[in-house]
Structure 1
């Protein structure tokens, strides 16, 4: 029994006992002054009522403190890292549809049942931020119903707002981390929605997040990474619009060739603006890398984003930034991550080891293959422009020394993500 309920029970028993005693004395009247006794009992009841009100006020204040206190909440933990093996082990769905259902159900369950206090709500928000990386595994897959995905995500965002408002109705103190984390999550979801629709003119919602206030290392990493992506997309949108290449996949062999052939006609003012955006992006990628030194996953994404950005800086200016090292770092992190994922999903270690195939495993394999293929695309683009200082390395093999069939056999299949097959065909067509 709660302390407040126990106190209420004691007070009720005292009042009941007093009433019984008063009735008993009333009927006995054994020389007692009935009027004085009644006055005394009324005073006693008033005192009990005052005690009840005081205790009720105390317990109410205590309840508010329990709901709103943020001491030790996870959003303030500067050493926090994502436990990706735990997520990989938790979501063993075989395809994107099952993964979508399991992921959204887990989020909704947390919001409904495990977010009643500020500390618990902070943990739920951190969980949402942790699984941000999983969302592209759903909406980028071939069989995903994107309209249903958007409706489900909108419902979750509505639930988050209601939970935030309910906490604010009790107290607005100590809520800055929660408020900014919600803004960050919404901004990232909005960014992912724009990119999924192949819209590079992304919304400025990330600029509304007060990033320096964020304390949690993962939250800060995601903030700087996505702010870098925001500036990258703004620069690339301006570049694509100026060169009339908005409908082209700018990282494909054909897209890179088209941009490379037109970039010399870029107006100086436009070039300056594009470079400004891209350098801003690199600054934030560097900050994200500095924060995520102990993270297993995010450096792979950040280095990939930085490498692409540096490449286009070189293409449209006289800069000679080393984009290859950043891409190699991205490939290394992603390759190492996939080895770890295989370890997590390996069963029957005593007999013949068996790695369970899950959609998340395919997604991270796709991420590694994407980085390897984009690197080849960029080198092919460089060679077309007369720059031949980088070797065509793919999974340790020099492609220049391979036959077509040998390269085809080296490629990794990622059936759920169509861009991989498209890039593989582009590389083969460009080289053979």
Structure 2
């Protein structure tokens, strides 16, 4: 049974689930508005590029504050601000209706700020697991992954329903965000989060980030993790644009573009949920296993090629094509989930307490920057997306080597375990 019975894990799960559902609401609302206004893949590509390019805006300074003052305090401030930000985004976007919001620049500007703060939360929250009193980091990671997986399945549908409900849906989302604040407050008041050992506060942000960078450079495991994340980010950016094209291509089988897109994402979520349950029950997420790593890479490498084949003129559209795509989306989600959770756990286990949030942020910024450039390029070259998808498969397959290195005993990597 998945370890949600523990009160600490339950509160973490409640916090992350309710807030992540609100994020789906904001993401799909902005995506629908931008797609309706731009009426092109390029508008979506600009939006996705912004999502990847902006993590440094708030993530860098907040990660420094989190290591100095405590990640719990930073998270509490972020969670308290989200209800107000959600209401403002809804109002300024005209209720997420493309017909009411006629300026693409306005929508992209709003997306920039709201996605920057969302990215900050999604990055810094991974510095929380080592601070929890009654739960091992890998179990908390499993809760985060399960939340992510469940919402890949149910999030798009629920968020779309909230959008159609207009003002009533907005009210529900604000209540969900308030529940997240309540869950974190419970953890704080019950003493379930350890206080950080303060570090010197006269260091500049540049010096503290340099310290985190040197720690990554000095730990071969962290270097291999970074290399793998970089490759996955570049390949994943191409897949994201491919999914938009495939969703539009298969849109005739469902009601709208957003319905088709949500269906594919939900299929990926089923695979991710399956993986999160398996690794939580078997303990596979505590370290990479060579065989499981290669199998996961295989699932992920096949997926972009399949998307490319779906877009070929000779491919027959129909229920059969949609069924095959959904099946391989499940396998892709399973592989992606295993690799992502395993790599995240390796970062937490091989980083010092004083640099953990900054190391997570540096990895996130580096991979997101590459992903942003790749997304923009894929959007500009969307007419050749089929060829790019085959290239994505090759990139993912190339990550097999660093994953094999990570699966080796820590001593052979020169890994330094830090308390």
For Structure 1 versus Structure 2, the TM-score category normalised by the shorter chain is under 0.3
Point out the structure with max Rg over C-alpha. 1
More helix by share: 2
Higher relative contact order (CA 8 A, sep 6+): 2
